Chains A and B, each alone.
Chain A
Amino acid sequence: MAKQIFEGITVADFSWVGVGPQIARELAEHGATAIRIESHKRPDTLRTTFPFKDHTPGIDRSAFGTAYNTNKYGISLDLTKPKGQEVAKRLIKWADIMTDGFTPGTMEALGLDYEEARKIKPNIIYYSTCQMGQKGPLNKFGGYGQFGTAYGGYCHLLGWPDHDPLPLFNNYTDFIAPWYLLITTIGALLYRHKTGKGMYLDQSQIEAGISFLGPLLLDYFVNGSVACRMGNRDPYMAPHSIYPSLGVDRWVSITVTNEEEWQSLCCVMGYPSWTNDPKYSTLLSRRENEEKLDSLIGEWTKNYDPYQLMTMLQDAGVPCGVVQTAEDLFNDPQLKKRHHFRFLEHKVIGTHAYNAPAYRLSKTPNHIWKAAPCLGEDNEFVYREILGYSDDEIAEMLVEGVITTEADVPDVLRSS
């Protein structure tokens, strides 16, 4: 196999939950050696969240806990113990990149902040990521990505204009923030390559999320307009909505961007008589009569299978797509062709799916070879082979609880 892009780059991944680990994962899937450092005493929240194998909670049973940790070695370490901090410093000495995803001040209290880290490894690249950024009046607000979506304006923009705003199940800003941080981290690696110097990176996840509302923010700054949720309407297209199709809770999206597409839609529908009505013959009239227009289109779509509708309309050149469920994604021939879901054998969960990156590199394709680690799975390899501890030292650290074990898991987190 060709040399991987980040072969030789080492990552000490102290981060947790949704954002920080995703950057380290992308690097590890392109050749970096990454070690994820965790503790049984306070396991990553994702390890204690659905979905669990067989619906049975357990720190190694959640597919949320595995999702962002392919190709990483996993160790257990109690950073609150002085000796744990010594181990951490050995990891820092080993690492090119060090990550932090805790509430601001946590790493400082542990003596593991950037200033301390660079004393040990002067050219280290160190990133911190949290909701609000390291400093500022709200810096200690420690929420999850869903809080970012609320504070970042997304909830207000989701739902029906006459109803309450809606939550974003997927903690959406958690899936914008990592990409900004990854781009910047690769920039820092380039900078280090050219100058020999490391760098500290401080991310606000909320700022990252907000940036994807750029045009609406400018609309407020320039015009004073405060954007609101519009259901599935769009200010610049009609028809533009989600329509019912055959099946239980099955839907398709149909959007028309020009007159040609409108004519094609009418043709596929078989030119029902209402399409001759002046109420629907121009863009302006369609926009004016959009509610009725949508119900007329829905009367037609509801008789067809969603995939049949998509094929008929796409063949006629009309942008149309099935509102795909997660199950649909696994069956999607396009995603299959792209090998989007990759299946690896996890020690506890068994064979399950991991997402591929959205970009494919022609000469240095990504490579996954290791399912996410169980907590502490690679202790022996990392402590002995990478960090150079002797068997006696390792045994002592186990006895002292520096290397945490299953026995350190708080009772409330144990499977019943």
Chain B
Amino acid sequence: MSQEITSFLDSYRVIDLTDEKGHLCGKLLGDLGADVIKIEPPGGDPARSNGPFYHDIPDSEKSLYWFFANLNKRGITLDIECPDGMELFKRLAVTADFVIESFKPGYMDSLGLGYEELERIKPNIIMTSITPFGQTGPYAHYKTTDLVGISMGGMVHLYGEQDRPPNRISAPQFYFLGSIHGAIGSMMALYHREFSGEGQYVDVSCQQATVLTLMIAVEIWDIHKVNYRGMGPGMFWPRPTPPGPLFNRRIWPCKDGHVLAMVAGGAQAGMVKSTQALVAMANREGYALELEDFEWQKVDASTVPQAEVSNREQLIGEFIRTKTKAELFDEAIREGILLIPVTTVKDITESPQLAFRGYWENVEHPEVEDTITYPGWPVKWTEMPAYKPKRRAPLIGEHNWEVYGNELGLSPEQLALLKARRVI
């Protein structure tokens, strides 16, 4: 056996040309140990202007979005549109296992840097393109932002309240979704290459990645011809009329915030036990609920009248209002109640479970003389050392000398010339 393997991808190199549409893909490959070289245009990637910012100082070296999405990458600058830039890019591509990009469809081809050309100079290269709608099709050139993308992917329609416009999650998701599928496609292509020796081209659609998150919204249309629509604090289940759709509350106000809980009966695994335990808790607290002896297992979701369900929800809701998140969750853990607090980002960071698993990772940021905490990798493995971030996100052109000088052998004079002419 040759050298010991210390991470999944430690012998592979990624050349990362992406903008915010594909940043996370390279990050994920870097998390697993790949040497990811992020290429930015001279002056820096536009997403360095994405907030929030370190200490709220809007500065292209202080974007927390950038810190997160480019962790575990090295960074160089290069103008790939000019002849010197193309030449240097090709020299780098020859050293790479993956090239990932997220330009408009056809852009890389227009520069003579498309997959066919890259395959010619590096036959087993894997090239992954991440775009909002994929490389071809009537919307392939449409402009997106997070909101536009997840709207087109069907996610927004699932969220919201009746009589108001549907909602998005107040945190961008669209490009992260496309990027993680880009990482899957890249890993699959790599596995294929290990056995066949051949590389290939991976074409990712963020819209399709979004459709994959819709759970059964697509199936509800397919089977029942009903469009699911966000309807406030609960879920509705499509039933033919009569009895018509059934609405079940999921978000419950409590003494110090909100909890999410399923209160129902019927056939679902654990559901009856959970609901009985919640009613028992209410009774112990002096809430003589008329539900004490209710036979939850007899509730048939396909026929139960809405009024009955609403009445039971009202009774339980009154009890939940009297308790704190912590009181309710403690009982939920003890008794197997399907109930959990609605948390903020602050609450998440205080979770004893995440602390126990060592989820949080500290990363040194010597440029601001600080240590910053990052989310870790959500899967633990045996056999190799645990996940550990190996470097913070790069500063603009931070590794120019390391890559162009040490690796490609350019002289300081040559680099100065390229810098003066804004090639790097």
Contacts and interface: CB of A to CB of B under 8 A. Distances in A.
Interface residues of A, number: 166
A interface: dominant SS: mixed
B interface: dominant SS: mixed
B129 to A, nearest CB: 10
B180 A176 contact: yes
A5 B188 contact: yes
Contacts of B42: none
A358 B181 contact: yes
Given A64-B216, A229-B170, A323-B156, A362 B151 contact: no
Contacts of B195: 193
Contacts of A190: 8, 190-191, 194
B60 interface: no
B302 A207 contact: no
Given A171-B215, A338-B137, A135 B378 contact: no
B218 A326 contact: yes
Interface in A273-328: 314, 317-328
B188 A361 contact: yes
A245 to B, nearest CB: 11
Interface stretch (A73-81, A146-154, A373-381, A387-395): A146-154
Contact of A55 (B165, B214, B239, B336): B239
B383 A197 contact: yes
A329 B218 contact: yes
Given A222-B54, A324-B157, A187 B32 contact: yes
Given A169-B217, A353-B219, A179 B372 contact: no
A242 B167 CA distance: 8
Nearest to A177: B378
B166 to A, nearest CB: 6
A67 B218 CA distance: 10
A383 interface: no
Given A50-B238, A190-B190, A203 B378 contact: yes
A158 B154 contact: no
A183 B351 CA distance: 26
A322 B206 CA distance: 15
Contacts of B204: 358-360
Contacts of B345: 153, 156, 213, 216-217, 219-220, 226-227
A34 interface: no
Interface in B370-409: 370, 372-384
B258 A164 contact: yes
Interface stretch (A91-99, A230-238, A399-407): A230-238
B343 interface: yes
Interface string A251-292: 111110100000000000000000000000000000000000
Interface stretch (B64-72, B103-111, B283-291): B64-72
Pick from B196, B202, B219 the residue with the most CB of A within 10 Å.
Answer: B219
B327 interface: no
A413 B266 CA distance: 8
Contacts of A181: 379
B354 A362 contact: no
B324 interface: no
B143 A135 contact: no
B387 to A, nearest CB: 10
Interface string B335-364: 010101111111111011110110100000
B69 A214 contact: yes
Across the A-B interface, the 8 shortest Cβ-Cβ residue pairs: A359-B185, A187-B8, A207-B378, A326-B221, A337-B137, A150-B260, A214-B68, A175-B213
Given A127-B379, A218-B374, 18 more contacts: A64-B219, A160-B161, A166-B160, A167-B260, A168-B158, A170-B215, A182-B187, A187-B187, A207-B359, A207-B375, A214-B69, A217-B375, A223-B54, A322-B151, A322-B152, A337-B138, A358-B206, A362-B115
8 contacts: A67-B219, A157-B171, A165-B251, A231-B167, A240-B145, A326-B154, A355-B211, A357-B212
